[in-house]
């Protein structure tokens, strides 16, 4: 099989179980926390400051912050949804009777040339290093096959001559994804200590912001950055906000505040 065929293999969004190494899981979970606890609150503040400068029709700073915030929320949702279906795979659990996650497969083309491919998940894959996702077209073609089976991809047929435990996957996430790892380490080192207020103060402030007409993302950013976990806020908020909702004039604000808190709790538990 020509090595170029691996490079042409595109990454496919995998909607089922996401298999990954512990290193990949830790890196993506760290990114989710950084987005939720730091980047979204900071960008929301930038958006608010820019909005106060005047006419939004000609406010490039506001437009940039708004676009960045939308991208952050999209990435936050993506990781949070994927992480619900993660299955962390450890090296000792790998078997080599069939091609699967964590195996290195040797393919022999019709002309006798050989190439090696490591099967991984979408968070670990590195096509340029011949580490591909089991959810990709080529990965699906190889997955579950045994030594001697044929593999046909992009009009070329090869045969599997060996299946071994991958030596370039477990413990190599930093090597294959240095930028992702470095970004999360820098974010962790740069995170300042956040002053903590009481849970009740956080709830009351969030509700007051909503009553004052603040956007949901501003309220979410405040709660994410206030230093009090959503799991602590949510039980107290239910009683407080249900009581507030009995007043028709602020019912909508109370419901929206509780929705923001519930959304934050789901993200926190992801």
pTM for the whole structure: 0.66
Report the pLDDT value the prediction gives residue 9, as an integer from 0 to 100. 45
Question: What span, in angstroms and rounded, lies between the C-alpha atoms of 51 and 45?
Answer: 10
Mean pLDDT of all residues in 54-63: 72
Instruction: Transcribe 134-166 into DSSP letters.
Output: TTSHHHHHHTT--TT-EEEETTEEEEEEEEEE-
Is 138's pLDDT higher than 50?
Answer: yes
How many CB atoms neighbour CB 8 within 10 A? 12
Residue with tokens 């340029």: 128
Report the pLDDT value the prediction gives residue 25, as an integer from 0 to 100. 92
**CA 176 from centroid of its chain's CA atoms:** 17
Least confident residue range of 47-61, 140-154, 237-251: 47-61
With beta carbons less than 8 A apart as the criterion, state whether 154 and 141 touch: no
pLDDT tens for 212-257 read: 988 888 888 888 877 788 888 999 999 999 999 999 999 999 999 9
The answer to whether the Cα torsion of 126, 128, 129, 134 is positive or negative is positive
Mean pLDDT of all residues in 107-118: 94
Is 13's pLDDT higher than 60?
Answer: no
Report the pLDDT value the prediction gives residue 117, as an integer from 0 to 100. 95
Question: What span, in angstroms and rounded, lies between the C-alpha atoms of 29 and 32?
Answer: 5
Report the pLDDT value the prediction gives residue 188, as an integer from 0 to 100. 60
Q: How high does pLDDT run on average in the chain? A: 84
With beta carbons less than 8 A apart as the criterion, state whether 233 and 241 touch: no
Phi, psi of 9 (to 5 degrees): -70, 115
Domains of the chain with bracketed CATH: 1-192 (3.10.50.30), 199-269 (no CATH)
Report the pLDDT value the prediction gives residue 99, as an integer from 0 to 100. 97
């Amino acid at each position: 099989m020509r090595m170029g065929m691996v490079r042409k293999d595109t990454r496919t969004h995998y909607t089922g179980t996401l298999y990954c190494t512990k290193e990949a899981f830790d890196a993506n979970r760290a990114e989710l926390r950084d987005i939720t606890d730091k980047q979204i609150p900071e960008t929301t503040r930038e958006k608010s400051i820019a909005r106060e400068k005047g006419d939004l029709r000609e406010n490039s700073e506001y437009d940039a912050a708004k676009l960045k915030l939308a991208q952050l929320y999209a990435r936050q949702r993506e990781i949070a949804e994927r992480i619900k279906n993660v299955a962390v795979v450890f090296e000792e659990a790998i078997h080599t009777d069939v091609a699967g996650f964590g195996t290195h497969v040797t393919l022999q083309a019709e002309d006798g040339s050989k190439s090696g491919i490591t099967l991984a998940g979408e968070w670990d894959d590195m096509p340029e290093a011949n580490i591909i996702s089991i959810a990709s077209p080529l990965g699906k073609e190889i997955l579950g096959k045994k030594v001697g089976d044929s593999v046909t991809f992009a009009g070329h047929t090869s045969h599997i001559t060996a299946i071994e435990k991958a030596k370039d996957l477990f413990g190599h996430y930093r090597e294959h994804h240095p930028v992702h790892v470095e970004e999360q380490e820098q974010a962790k080192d740069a995170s300042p200590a956040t002053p903590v207020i009481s849970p009740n103060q956080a709830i009351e402030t969030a509700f007051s912001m909503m009553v004052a007409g603040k956007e949901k993302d501003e309220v979410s950013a405040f709660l994410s950055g206030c230093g009090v976990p959503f799991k602590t806020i949510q039980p107290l908020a239910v009683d407080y906000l249900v009581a507030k909702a009995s007043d028709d004039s602020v019912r909508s604000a109370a419901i929206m505040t509780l929705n923001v808190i519930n959304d934050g709790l789901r993200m926190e538990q992801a």
